[in-house]
Amino acid sequence: IINGRPTQKGTTPWIAMLSHLNGQPFCGGSLLGSKWIVTAAHCLHEAPDSEGLSLHDLGLLSPSAFKIIMGKLRRTQSDENEQSLSVKQVFFHPLYNPNTYENDVALLELLRGPVLNDFVMPICLPQGPPEEGAMVIVSGWGKQFLQRFPETLMEIEIPIVDHHICREAYAPLKKKVTRDMICAGEKEGGRDACAGDSGGPMVTLDTQRGQWYLVGTVSWGVDCGKKDRYGVYSYIFHNKDWIRRVTGMSN
């Protein structure tokens, strides 16, 4: 997270850390319901080394090759409330495209759900699209300015960006911003997610219900925090039906 601030303990109890078995974190995620993690699909396979490859051509991360840690705050040191969980099964979005990051979303079914408490709690699914220009909070243990990893969970508070503006901003770079994506950040850059934050939550508060809900998951961007380089997130509301079907949850 570029230009972020440390997250206060317990204010993001849905965030999940995807970590290699050697303890090396590599992505973020969010807890849904009692035993599901939503994250970015591109976290779960090796990076494509050429264009035009399909998911089946890529080495997928086996469910037993990584773990999920809930209740986490510090990046590498252990936390008193952390809970380490195994993954039972991985569900890629059927229309996920590893070359364009379309539908860059995956669901992880946990072998056993975490014990919910003040530091572990699921995020709600959206009931509708976020308001125009709503402020969202993006959290992660990814790189900061000067490429350093943080000690602890970081967060930024940024506005949602109009889809058309975002699409125009990336057009010169030949990057497609499709309907299943949502952008956030400032025009002049500054606060943004970055490598290592992928899959992590972009949330906002539903002031009527008094509940936070998941707007997007960190997906891609060009550089981090540069001017006119908005952060692009996988748009959860767009893929809610798929999420409901796979998890069997309504909300």
Partner 1 sequence: HIVELNNMFGQIQSPGYPDAYPSDSEVTWNITVPEGFRIKLYFMHFNLESSYLCEYDYVKVETEDQVLATFCGRETTDTEQTPGQEVVLSPGSFMSITFRSDFSDEERFTGFDAHYVAVDVDECTEREDEELSCDHYCHNYIGGYYCSCRFGYILHTDNRTCRVECSDNLFTQRTGMITSPDFPSPYPKSSECLYTIELEEGFMISLQFEDIFDIEDHPEVSCPYDYIKIKAGPKVLGPFCGEKAPEPINTQSHSVQILFRSDNSGENRGWRLSYRATGNECPKLQPPVHGKIEPLQTTYSFKDQVLISCDTGYKVLKDNVEMDTFQMECLKDGTWSSKIPTCKIADCGAPAELENGVVTFSTRNNLTTYKSEIRYSCQRPYYKMLHNITGVYTCSAQGVWMNEVLGRSQPTCLPVCGIPKFSRNLLAR
Contact 79, 7 (CB under 8 A): no
Least distance in angstroms from the C-beta of 41 to partner 1: 22
In whole angstroms, what is the distance from residue 54 CA to residue 32 CA? 27
Nearest CB to partner 1, comparing residues 11 and 64 = 11
In whole angstroms, what is the distance from residue 192 CA to residue 185 CA? 6
198 annotated active-site: yes
Nearest CB to partner 1, comparing residues 170 and 237 = 237
In DSSP terms, which residues pair with 37 in a beta bridge?
A: 31, 108
Measured in degrees and rounded to the nearest 5, phi and psi for residue 191 equal: -90, 130
The residue from 42, 45, 93, 238 that is catalytic is: 42
The residue from 30, 45, 93, 104 that is catalytic is: 104
104 annotated active-site: yes
Nearest to 182 by CA among 154, 206, 214, 224: 214
Sign of CA dihedral 140, 144, 150, 156: negative
Nearest to 4 by CA among 126, 154, 117, 105: 154
Least distance in angstroms from the C-beta of 77 to partner 1: 20
Least distance in angstroms from the C-beta of 130 to partner 1: 13
Nearest CB to partner 1, comparing residues 172 and 210 = 210
Least distance in angstroms from the C-beta of 54 to partner 1: 34
Nearest CB to partner 1, comparing residues 139 and 144 = 139
Query: Interface residues with partner 1 (CB under 8 A)?
Result: 5, 7-14, 32-34, 116-118, 121-125, 135, 137, 157, 203, 206, 210-213, 251
Residues noted as catalytic: 42, 104, 198
